[in-house]
Amino acid sequence: MAGGEDRNVKALKDVWKRPENALCADCGKPDPDWASYTLGVFICLSCSGIHRNIPSISKVKSLRMDHWEVAQVQFLAQHGNGLGKATYEAHIPIYCYQPTYADCQVLREQWIRSKYERKDFTEPGRYVLYSDGLKEGILWKRGRDNGQFLPRKFILSEKDGCLKYFIKQDAKEPKINIKIDVINATFQPAKVGNPNGLQITYLKDNKTRNIFVYHENGKIKSRLTRNFLKEGYMEKTGPKQKEAFKKRWFTLDHRRLMYFKDPLDAFAKGEVFVGSGENGYSVKPGLPAGMQGSFSWPHGLTIVTPDRDYLFTCETEREQQDWIAAFRRVIELPMTPQEYAIEAYFKVRS
């Protein structure tokens, strides 16, 4: 009996150590130590909790603490994360955002339910963003001036390629009409103060505008294009580099570095274009020697552009390193023709 038990434990460890099972099947977190013995995938502790909420689809056990039957180990050996992705992620639309372990619980739960419960990606064309090309519903929108959330009617139209919202449900004309191709939507539960919070960012007259909304029951099906590369507070000084540094909330959305007085401001106070290294852009730690502006945070960084240098300070060394890493990821990428046009606009505007 003991020998058979030892062989089963060894077989479980062998399957667990396969390279295909080194990351969580759902969020990509390294070293998953749970598995679903009905789906045959290896998952992290956080995602295992979501799997428990769909017991008719997935049943999970700890790979470290629970006893595994021989048949269950054999099932894992016959499946694994490679086969799981080939089955449940076979036909993911290009516009469908795939969350990571850094994303909020709501977004990861919707992703997991979409994969295994509804099997949205098992066949071509099975996943429908919104039926009949039209999605209409009520979202609670934050007022730009008073910060109060009020219900507003939103319409997402595939035919017209736009998102509209109306102040009154019976209104004939929308308050805004935004083209989908200039929209970026990200889940922001902490910032909005609601587990189903969403930040909708779009360009108006080539300037960034934010709308903050939430849905009451969390059934948000949105065209989530990408997450912001990084957000957080830094201090900045002005173009003369002699002004006092001011604390601002920064958001890096690919090549646009936007800054706000408050994280929930509707409009950015300013923006910096971050180009590519081959076009004269770079980032480096520290501030210029003999810096005269007064600042309270000790960890500086400088963004070098063809036109001027931008100076920032961070509260901690870790924040400084994270910001530098985020900027470098952007700067290492070659610019597209569209980005050259955006760069030209920034130069004209400045």
C-alpha 220: how far from its chain's center? 15
In a domain, 191, yes or no: yes
Task: Give the Å distances, CA to CA, from 45 to 15, 133, 304.
Answer: 18, 37, 42
- Position 127 scores a pLDDT of 60
Domain boundary residue, one of 214, 244, 279: 214
* Residues of the chain above pLDDT 90, percent: 51
Domain boundary residue, one of 117, 152, 167: 117
Cα–Cα distance measured from residue 303 to residue 309, given in angstroms and rounded to the nearest whole number: 6
* Residues of the chain above pLDDT 70, percent: 91
In a domain, 89, yes or no: yes
Query: Can you tell me the mean pLDDT for 55-61?
Result: 96
* 86 and 21 housed in the same domain: yes
* 84 and 45 housed in the same domain: yes
* 210 and 239 housed in the same domain: no
- Position 124 scores a pLDDT of 77
What's the pLDDT tens digit per position in 232-291? 999 999 888 788 899 999 999 889 999 999 999 988 899 999 999 999 999 999 998 877
Query: pLDDT averaged over the chain?
Result: 87
* 247 and 326 housed in the same domain: yes
* 314 and 344 housed in the same domain: yes
* 172 and 104 housed in the same domain: no
Domain boundary residue, one of 186, 214, 242: 214
CATH number at residue 193: 2.30.29.30
CATH number at residue 78: 1.10.220.150
What's the pLDDT tens digit per position in 167-180? 888 888 888 888 87
What's the pLDDT tens digit per position in 178-204? 887 778 888 888 888 887 888 888 887
- Between 65 and 1, the more confident residue is 65
* 268 and 323 housed in the same domain: yes
* 101 and 49 housed in the same domain: yes
- Position 226 scores a pLDDT of 60
* 243 and 303 housed in the same domain: yes
* 26 and 107 housed in the same domain: yes
C-alpha 315: how far from its chain's center? 24
* 95 and 14 housed in the same domain: yes
In a domain, 222, yes or no: no
Domain range for 315: 230-348
Is pLDDT of 19 > 50?
yes
